[in-house]
A and B are shown apart, each in its own frame.
Chain A
């Protein structure tokens, strides 16, 4: 099982990027083995629909959950429709986020927690 975490840099020591669609990087990680790969997100340069295109990429990666700070309505709808759990309100270190996920401290958000375009110009 793999989870996708929005990240400020491509390293495991990175912080959680508060944005989903316009985050800089993703850490796609197996919480059991801690094996991971990092992905650069094209979202920050998208003119429109960054949430949808980023969700599309995560769906293609086969992640079963997304850990991020904020997730808007379009991305939330796309991820949920693909059966991916969306966990919002996550901040701090990636490694802590993974640990908290493993110990079941997070509840999936059944709704977006911000409006569209919230991640622009930040």
Chain B
């Protein structure tokens, strides 16, 4: 399910992290286990999520067990925004 949250996340990841603005990210595409987002960019993603959605991701949550796709990350954001 695509919505505003996933669209914003996808836009940030493709332009700022992957530097391929034309790249299409599927909602269920693996991000961390595939190495698409490497460990050096996990902090950037956490900062973006906090600045954009006001949701804090703890550094111990920056791994594929917590989220590995746009859909999973968007789910965490929606849940914490209440």
Q: Do A and B belong to a common assembly?
A: no
